[in-house]
């Protein structure tokens, strides 16, 4: 399906990336009213399979994350499609010597997979994130088994820089990661 992105970031400016068509995607800050949509994918174990966090088991803990982490976060956006929040994308800047480098992370609700939304959202984040956070480098760390995410990253123009063996403890298991990056 073709996609048009309308990316409204912090209600300050509008970016459009044209794919030419029927679906509209907006990136905006989270609000508390997003809880039902957020919980739909954040409670899904298929969605969190490759992620560092476990699926939420109740709405109260999901609400706490929304209020304490997502809403005040400097760059964690809701991905909105036809008025529904279908996922999220974040840029997490490092500290000290890593302050010009951010790691990107993203999630799409299962029933919206394979419609081009993940790729459109990542392209939008790469387009605006450097200026928003004054970055020189954006990194993505991906599980080598996460083929859909590898496709999204490669379609978005990030460069594979390495295969990091046994580099992370994920939910009690030592895992490998592919490292991708885009610099400017
Ligand atoms: C990874 C994720 C964000 C992709 O989102 P999406 O909206 O489905 O992405 P897109 O539709 O833009 O692209 C997905 C591509 O992967 C392909 N794909 C999907 N499942 C696949 C699989 N099991 N094996 C190989 N390719 C696969 C799709 O066909 C599509 O490729 P195409 O454009 O060539 O047809 C989504 O699957 C997701 O939220 N997964 C769970 C969370 C996650 O893993 N986040 C990333 C952490 S690094």
Ligand 1 pocket test target in 148, 160, 164 with most atoms within 8 Å of CB: 148
Alpha carbon nearest to ligand 1 atom 27, residue: 148
- In whole angstroms, what is the distance from residue 88 CA to residue 51 CA? 13
Task: Convert the pLDDT of each residue in 36-58 to its tens digit.
Answer: 999 999 999 999 999 999 999 99
- In whole angstroms, what is the distance from residue 67 CA to residue 130 CA? 25
Predicted local confidence at residue 19, as pLDDT? 46
Determine how many CB atoms are found less than 10 A away from the CB of residue 100: 14
Identify the CATH number of the domain defined by range 3-135.
3.40.630.30
Query: Domain residue spans in the chain?
Result: 3-135
Ranges of residues in the chain whose predicted pLDDT is under 50: 1-21
Alpha carbon nearest to ligand 1 atom 35, residue: 114
Alpha carbon nearest to ligand 1 atom 44, residue: 50
- In whole angstroms, what is the distance from residue 110 CA to residue 25 CA? 16
For residue 13, the cross-strand partners are 9
Structure token pair of residue 143: 């599980």
């Amino acid at each position: 399906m073709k996609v048009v992105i309308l990316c409204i970031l912090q209600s300050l400016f509008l970016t459009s990336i044209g794919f030419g068509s029927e679906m509209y995607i907006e990136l905006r800050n989270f609000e508390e009213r997003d809880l039902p949509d957020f919980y739909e994918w954040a409670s899904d174990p298929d969605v969190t399979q490759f992620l560092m966090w476990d699926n939420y088991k109740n709405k109260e803990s999901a609400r706490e994350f929304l209020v304490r982490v997502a809403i005040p976060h400097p760059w964690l956006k809701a991905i909105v499609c036809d008025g529904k929040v279908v996922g999220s994308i974040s840029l997490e800047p490092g500290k000290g010597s890593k302050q010009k480098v951010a790691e990107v992370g993203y999630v799409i609700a299962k029933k919206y997979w394979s419609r081009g939304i993940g790729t459109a959202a990542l392209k939008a984040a790469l387009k605006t994130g450097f200026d928003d956070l004054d970055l020189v480098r954006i990194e993505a760390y991906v599980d080598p088994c996460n083929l859909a995410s590898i496709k999204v990253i490669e379609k978005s123009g990030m460069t594979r820089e390495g295969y990091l063996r046994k580099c992370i403890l994920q939910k009690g298991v030592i895992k490998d990661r592919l490292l991708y990056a885009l610099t400017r």
